[in-house]
Structure formats: structure tokens, C-alpha cells
Amino acid sequence: MIELNTSHSINSNKKIRVAGIIQESIVDGPGIRLVVFTQGCRHNCKGCHNPQTHDFSGGYEISIDEILNILKSNPLLDGITLSGGDPFEQPDSCCYLAEKVRELGLNVVTYTGYTYENLLKKKEFINLLLNTDILIDGKFELSEKDLTIPFRGSRNQRIIDVKRSLESGKPCLIINQ
């Protein structure tokens, strides 16, 4: 079993670089979601829906407390979606945000171009993965593009139940979503 590394110190003044925030979305995960589009992505997928998020110096910084205040101000929200860019390019800030969201009793969906299997191999990614409820993994593949499937841009991307996957030792897909 993978354990959370709590040795890193993060304070409440922590910031995150974002391309933008959508305060209510029904297309970026189940339920009504606050979506944080993180800034910075190494994948550069051909046909990416958000190419403006690739530049690591683009976007703007915002305090995580400010994002949490936006979240708390809307009782209709089911959780937060971390998208991008790639949230795993800012793993400490995104992990802190995810921890705080889960403390509020809400869920966390994280999109990434990395695969679940690759995330498990990178120590710096583990804490964010452990604080994610649903992971949508894999690069966007233009040849697999499908606008009819929920929450994904291409058929190769998977919707993974992280807790069940960690318990079973293999990716557990969420079907019919």
C-alpha cells in the first residue's frame, strides 16, 4: 500500500499558477464542479483543447485559500476538478488544494496526460494521486478523439477510481461515466 508523505511543509499562503477557473461545470467530472485549469504542460498533445495552458510562465498565480473561498461560496458544488495544463506539473500546490477540498467533504477529479502506471513510479506525484478520487489519465490522442464519451476527449483516456485501484494493485475503471 502506498502511504501519504506528510513530511513536506505547506502553509496557507500557498499559491498555484492557473490559466483560469470555471465556477460551475457539468462536463469536467460527475456532478457540478469547480474547475481549476492549472498552467504548464509538457505533453503538448496535438489537437489539445487547452494549448494556452502549456506555457509554464503563462496564466497567473492565485492563492489556494482564494480558490477554497470560491468553492465554499457555492453549496451546489460536488467537488473540484484539477485540469490543465497538467496538475501533476504542480504536484505540491495541487495536492494541498486537493487535501483541503477533501477536508470539506467534497471530491477531487484530476486530469493528467500521464498514465496511472507512470504516476505510481514518480515519488513527487504520489501525494496528489492519493488525494484524487477520480483520475482521468492519458494523453489526448487526436486519432482517438470522440466527442460522445463523457469527461474525456479521446477514447484512450481512462476514468479511474483511485482508491479502488490502490487497494487492488491495478487500475479500476469507472464504467458508464
Per-residue confidence in pLDDT tens, the chain, 177 aa: 444 444 444 455 799 999 999 999 999 999 999 999 999 999 989 988 899 999 999 999 999 999 999 999 999 999 999 999 999 999 999 999 999 999 999 999 999 999 999 999 999 999 999 999 999 999 999 999 998 999 999 999 999 999 999 999 999 999 755
Cβ neighbours of residue 135 closer than 8 Å, sequence gap 6 or more: 109, 110, 112, 116, 119, 129, 158, 159, 160, 162
Q: 13 Cβ partners below 8 Å, 6+ apart? A: 63, 65
Please provide the DSSP assignment of 49-89 as one string.
S-GGG--TT-SEEEEHHHHHHHHHT-TT--EEEEESS-GGG
Burial class of residue 72 (count of CB atoms within 10 Å of its CB; 0-12, 13-18, 19+): exposed
- CATH code of the region 16-168: 3.20.20.70
Please state the pTM of the whole predicted model: 0.91
The closest alpha carbon to 152, from 175, 122, 126, belongs to 175
